[in-house]
Amino acid sequence: MEEFKQVHAQILKLGLFLDSFCGSNLVATCALSKWGSMEYACSIFRQIEEPGSFEYNTMIRGRVNNMNLEETLFLYVEMLERGIEPDKFTYPFVFKACSLLGALKEGVQIHGHIFKAGLDGDTFVQNSLISMYGKCGAIKHAYAVFEQMDERSVASWSAIIGALHKDPMEFKPERFLRHDKGDAKFDLKGTIDIKMMPFGAGRRVCPAISMATLHLEYFVANLVRDFKWTLEEGCEVDMSEKQVFSIVMKNPLRPCVSPRINHLKTSI
């Protein structure tokens, strides 16, 4: 940082700071570098007579990275008041600030601004908007934005999954349960909430779903009835996870299975 300050002083001495390129790069370097200082970056920024969208975007991004979230929104408002038009690089970080603050009301207002800016069809902006609504708990708004997208990227699907499921990358099989009159049940057909559809849904639903479900229940019931299931001595259930094709248990269960002798004798 000391070397940077020396370079800054040299630029001022040579009268090069008036060059917008020098001023912009000084702000970006100081605000976005790991060794930088947002306070010093702000002092440079305030010395620029006519900052543009690039300078404001840099400061907004830097403020978010440093978790100065309220200052981020103040910068955005200042940007509008000075007649500087935000672009597709402005809104993702502004929406991120809203999501971290839980500022849904402000997020909805800024959502209206992107229509005026003609950026409502930009995938980059839409993805950040979905993420903001999801983190603020406005799931219907997030899904509405997702449905209106003409093109969906991998990031779009990740954003909507993150909005619909809390902690989507964690191993939480109970997330697929729905409660019907106090009873927890799996919704295999996706008729209530599309959370889990191993047999498909709609026209593509598996025609043998009823038989498969019946056999699955029968198979599990027999395993429970005829065998005793315990853990290996000294072992505990570890719910930590890892990602392969999907999220699985990092340390799989190693059960000890023994027949229920009394039941087998009765059967014989």
Tokens standing for residue 2: 């000391």
Calculate the alpha carbon distances from 37 to 2, 19, 68, 169, 262 in Å.
Answer: 11, 22, 12, 33, 73
Calculate the alpha carbon distances from 145 to 72, 91, 99, 233 in Å.
Answer: 24, 15, 16, 51
By the 8 A CB rule, do 163 and 131 touch? Answer: yes
What is the residue type of 14? Answer: L
Determine if residue 136 is labeled as part of a ligand binding site. no
Mark residue 147 as left, alpha or beta (left: phi above 0; alpha: psi -120 to 50; beta: remaining): alpha
In angstroms, the CA 76 to CA 85 distance is 10
By the 8 A CB rule, do 110 and 94 touch? Answer: yes
What is the residue type of 5? Answer: K
By the 8 A CB rule, do 4 and 29 touch? Answer: yes
Residue stretches of the annotated binding site: 206
Residue stretches of the annotated binding site for heme: 206
